[in-house]
Amino acid sequence: MPKPVAREKLRKLRHFDTFLLEQMKLDNPAAVDIDPSIIQRFFNYLFNGCGAKPATIREYLEVLWSVYAYLYERKLVNDKLLIFIHQMLTSEALGPV
């Protein structure tokens, strides 16, 4: 059975399409070049807005990968997003891996 924090994160991830629509105010998020700041706001919302912060670097990376996979399946991944994910993975905010 997933932990409560993991369940909450999964619930938030399942609503990612809705989040993009709200943030971008568009009918079709797949038709635009996604601005990485939108993904950053999503992470802020996911980890801070619901109080569910990643407990470990591994957990953070797993959620990041889940977001990437979710976007990839919906053909929303582009070069800017890949660069952003790379920056997130190499960020000093993560501390030593």
Count of CB atoms situated within 10 Å of the CB of 70: 15
In percent, how much of the chain has pLDDT > 90? 0
* pLDDT, position 60: 65
Is the pLDDT reported for residue 69 higher than 70?
yes
Note down the domain range covering 63.
Answer: 4-94
Is the pLDDT reported for residue 13 higher than 70?
no
Question: pLDDT grade, residue 41 (50/70/90)?
Answer: low
The domain tally of the chain equals 1
Model pTM score: 0.40
> Alpha helices, DSSP H only, in the chain?
4-14, 16-24, 36-44, 57-73, 79-89
